[in-house]
Amino acid sequence: MTEAIRLVGLCGSLRKGSLNRRALELAGSVLPAGVTLDIVDWRDIPPFDADVYAQGPNPQVQALAERIRQADGVVIATPEYNFSIPGSFKNVIDWLSRGDNQPFARKPVAILSAATGPLGGARVQYDLRRVMLFVNAMVLVKPEVFIGGAQNKFDAEGQCTDEATRNFVTQQMLSFETWIQECRRMRAG
Ligand code: FNR
């Protein structure tokens, strides 16, 4: 029997009505059988300060790092701010990147983005992929999912109303499951 796959979801936006959170929830609703996704909140993580880091571990960062370590993969849905990663979310990655037993190291990661503009966050994904490369994550290459004009693709209840978007995200999650299995085999040598 195939082992269960547990995913952690990180949303790059903190706002309540976040379209990226809706995209993440959509991903959680179209997962293959045996795969589950828990969206993890990171709003309590303080701004990174190397002096504070030097004083000892931050409990919120430790808790998030452990959630990621325990997960079989991470799904990130993030907005694009000024062509790049939202500062508050980059801050979280910076915190997680310090110390031993790196949570993202050899961790399968899938990235999607939603934006009100037509490109759907195409630029932020390449910045995020670059950052994920440095923390040794195993990022799913394809299919890429860019949800442009996202304000027209989810209803007031947060349900996806666009069949093409639902299909893209479904395909990505199917490929992510396969990628996680491949990563398991690679890690086993
Ligand atoms: C944006 N937005 C945006 N969109 C985009 O496609 N490219 C960009 O560079 C930016 N830059 C940007 C900067 C800042 C500070 C904000 C607040 C917004 C618009 C963005 O796509 C839109 O607000 C999304 O709805 C944000 O994602 P959430 O919060 O809905 O997940």
- Give the pLDDT of the chain (189 residues) as one tens digit per residue: 568 999 999 999 999 999 999 999 999 999 999 999 999 999 999 999 999 999 999 999 999 999 999 999 999 999 999 999 999 999 999 999 998 999 999 999 999 999 999 999 999 999 999 999 999 999 999 999 999 999 999 999 999 999 999 999 999 999 999 999 999 999 888
Q: Is 13 in the pocket of ligand 1 (CB under 6 A)?
A: yes
Q: Record the tokens describing residue 109, joined without a space.
A: 């990661």
Write the Ramachandran bin of 40: left for phi over 0, alpha for psi from -120 to 50, otherwise beta: beta
Atom of ligand 1 lying closest to residue 148 CA:
6
43 HSE (CA, 13 A, CB side): 6
Cα(172)–Cα(189) distance, integer angstroms: 25
Cα(67)–Cα(69) distance, integer angstroms: 6
- Which of 82, 88, 128 should be mutated for ligand 1, with most atoms under 8 A from CB? 82
Amino acid at residue number 22:
R
Q: Is 63 in the pocket of ligand 1 (CB under 6 A)?
A: no
Residue located nearest, by CA, to atom 27 of ligand 1: 79
Whether the CB-CB separation of 179 and 138 falls below 8 Å is answered with yes
